[in-house]
Amino acid sequence: MQAAITTATLVGVDAVPVEVQVDVSSGLPVFGIVGLADTAVQEARDRVRSALRAAGFDFPNARVIVNLAPAPLRKHGTGFDLPIALGVLCATGQLSTRAFDGSVAVGELGLDGSVRTVPGLLAHALAAARADARLLGPRLAADAVGAVPGLKYHGLDDLRSLRQGVPPPTVPGPARSSLSPDGGVDLADVAGHQGAKRCLEIAAAGGHNVLFVGPPGSGKTMLARALCGLQTPLTENERLETALVHSVAGLDPAPALDGVRPFRAPHHSSSIAGLVGGGAPPRPGEISLAHHGVLFLDELPEFGPAALQVLRQPLEEGVVTLVRAQGAVTYPARVTLVAAMNPCPCGFAGDPDRACTCSPGAVARYPARVGGPLFDRMDIAVRVARIDPGLLLCRERAETTTADVSARVRQAVEFRGSRTRSGSQPPTLSLAARSLLEASARSQHLSGRAVTRVLRVARTIADLARTDSIAEEHVAEAVGYRGWDLG
Ligand SMILES: [Zn+2]
């Protein structure tokens, strides 16, 4: 007898439909899986056999062949356990095939018959809702997919519960993040650094990339961490998009579903696959896990030329494309990049109190390790000095608080929204602003790309001031943030 159950496999962040066809015929007892299945799918045989028996069903003493169609699509992961088990049950007449019409099933099985969650369940949920199919999956994961509009989710604890037929739809609770938002740094706790804080305000309002240059211990990491708390919360769409990437990577999607922007700070020893994604099966990298949030690269020159080279394109396009033998896989990667670096290998070039011990050649070569094209993508570069110890010991909190700045950011974002809705499309520059921009472009040898970026930053500064037209002072401030050049 034959039966077919619909499931899906992940390609990037999409769940692509796969039909699990099960054929049970008399002959020598074998249990085979064909159709480009990876190791985890092949191992389903052992889990399915034990789980069915543990749940009180029969595993046929016959020839059982599972075909995963379409054959050319590579299938990976443990989510095939449940659809294969259902296929066997239907093909042997232990369950009615009709009960699974219009259903998609995904889930890993324990040897005891329990149904467990799998990476990317949110992707399966979105695909099922789009196809107007009901999704059969682990009951414990119901809350994680509750945010998907229009989803009919039927959660299973255990294969045993199928003895009474397909369980009724599961009503999900709210997705709850176990962690407090990682934007735990309040600007009020960062002493001094008024200039850097202003840069964070502009970056939060306009989504601009920031480079902090300063000696070790000057608070660059604290400043970067404070940025998440200044950005507006994730919109409904952004929540799902970000949670989807986290789900596919096997991370908890709940913080993103709660609206918390991700903050990712990969170490400079991270592999290229770790940064931009890769591996078999492919997994999203840090730049995608930071989607709609902050990617913080501390000690930027230490990442090495190969890693910085592969980051360039995703930073520009907001998407990572991994080209593979079976076709390209894409992951979203729209991030605000915050990078930090010392001014020289020892860290103290330009420091008023400590002498730099590097040779002039080493100081000159240090920024070149990052390379001009990546510097070009840094919209705002700012020097961060070591803070006077007297200021650090001062018990009074800084006057700038995250609450104040995030309120201004929200107003600027709203102002931009009303400005773009009213249709004043090209940025309007005052005459003085235009001539200052032209003069700066000439004197600083700004590339066309750099001029565009200066103009964008100036537009954000004007939005923060809530003025329709970009004034000379806005351009002057924006040009000032490109002052830190390659040395
Ligand atoms: Zn030095």
Tell me the CA–centroid distance for residue 404 and ligand 1, in Å.
37
pLDDT digits (tens, 9 = 90+) for 198-252: 999 999 999 999 999 998 888 899 999 999 899 999 999 999 999 999 999 999 9
Residue 473's identity, in one-letter code, is E
Mean pLDDT of all residues in 68-90: 96
Burial of 45 per CB tally in 10 Å (0-12, 13-18, 19+): middle
Which of 31-40, 179-188, 362-371 has the largest mean confidence?
A: 31-40
Task: Say how far apart CA 61 and CA 246 lie, in whole Å.
Answer: 41
Hey, what domains does the chain have and what are their CATH numbers?
Answer: 2-164 (3.30.230.10), 187-402 (3.40.50.300), 424-487 (1.10.8)
Asked whether 294 and 262 are in contact (CB, 8 A), the reply is yes
Q: What is the pTM of this model?
A: 0.91
Tell me the CA–centroid distance for residue 214 and ligand 1, in Å.
11
Helix (H) or strand (E) holding 263: strand 263-264
pLDDT confidence tier of residue 102, bands split at 50, 70 and 90? very high
Q: Which of 225, 239, 226, 238 is nearest to 406 (CA)?
A: 226
Q: Label residues 178-193 b or e (16+ Cβ within 10 Å = b).
A: eeeebbebbbbebbbb
Residue bearing tokens 């682990």: 138
Which of 86-90, 293-297, 378-382 comes out lowest in average pLDDT? 378-382
Q: CA neighbours within 13 Å on the CB side: how many for 464?
A: 26
Tell me the CA–centroid distance for residue 344 and ligand 1, in Å.
5
Residue 472's identity, in one-letter code, is E
Tell me the CA–centroid distance for residue 386 and ligand 1, in Å.
15
Task: Say how far apart CA 264 and CA 292 lie, in whole Å.
Answer: 11
Q: Which of 214, 188, 189, 336 is nearest to 264 (CA)?
A: 336
End-to-end C-alpha distance for the chain, whole angstroms: 74
Residue bearing tokens 């439909």: 17
Q: Is the pLDDT of residue 395 over 80?
A: no
DSSP label at residue 120: T
Q: Which residues surround ligand 1, an ion (CB under 5 A)?
A: 344, 346, 349, 356, 358
Burial of 30 per CB tally in 10 Å (0-12, 13-18, 19+): exposed
Tell me the CA–centroid distance for residue 187 and ligand 1, in Å.
29
Task: Say how far apart CA 52 and CA 85 lie, in whole Å.
Answer: 7
pLDDT at res. 487: 38
Tell me the CA–centroid distance for residue 385 and ligand 1, in Å.
14
Contacts of 238 (CB under 8 A, 6+ apart): 292
Mean pLDDT of all residues in 40-65: 96
* β-bridge pairing 319-324 and 327-332: antiparallel
Q: Label residues 33-44 b or e (16+ Cβ within 10 Å = b).
A: bebbbeebbeeb
**The tokens of 486 are what?**
């390659």
Q: Which of 36, 34, 66, 67 is nearest to 49 (CA)?
A: 66
**The tokens of 134 are what?**
């009901």
DSSP label at residue 131: T
Tell me the CA–centroid distance for residue 370 and ligand 1, in Å.
16
**The tokens of 452 are what?**
């565009």
Tell me the CA–centroid distance for residue 318 and ligand 1, in Å.
35
Sheet bearing 30-34, strands edge to edge: 30-34, 63-69, 14-25, 2-11, 103-105, 134-138, 152-156
pLDDT confidence tier of residue 304, bands split at 50, 70 and 90? confident
Tell me the CA–centroid distance for residue 349 and ligand 1, in Å.
5
